[in-house]
Amino acid sequence: MHRGVLVAPFCLIAAVLIASRHTAPRRGLRALAVVTIVLFMANQARLFVIAASMRALGFESGYELSHVFLGTVLTTLGAVIGLLLFVWLVANESPPGNRRHRLVGIA
């Protein structure tokens, strides 16, 4: 699968959210960066599994098993994790590290 196919929808969504001012540019770009890294890592894991399976099981059976089944599972998991992180990062008003600062003024 081409690298940009999975990232492109997130780029479009981030652009629309930022242009419509539904999210701050910094938050939208941070979410986009995180999802890009998650998808990149999932793809690297997929390539590693394909290579390891081909080495262990032989070219034909290793490629067929790993590319068709395991590669699809890894790509799907990466996309779902990326989507959940993207939504969570865009929907949160502040990053998790800044929550402590809001509680300081309460006491």
Q: Is the pLDDT of residue 107 over 50?
A: no
Number of domains observed in the structure of the chain:
1
Q: Is the pLDDT of residue 104 over 80?
A: no
Q: What share of the chain is helix, strand, coil (3-state, %, to 5)?
A: 85, 0, 15
Q: What is the pLDDT of residues 22-39, one digit of tens each?
A: 889 999 999 999 999 999
Please indicate, yes or no, if residue 103 is contained in any of the structural domains: no
Please indicate, yes or no, if residue 105 is contained in any of the structural domains: no
Quote the domain boundaries for residue 89.
24-94
Please indicate, yes or no, if residue 102 is contained in any of the structural domains: no
Please indicate, yes or no, if residue 84 is contained in any of the structural domains: yes
Please indicate, yes or no, if residue 47 is contained in any of the structural domains: yes
Dig out the tokens for 56 from the structure. 């262990």
Please indicate, yes or no, if residue 58 is contained in any of the structural domains: yes
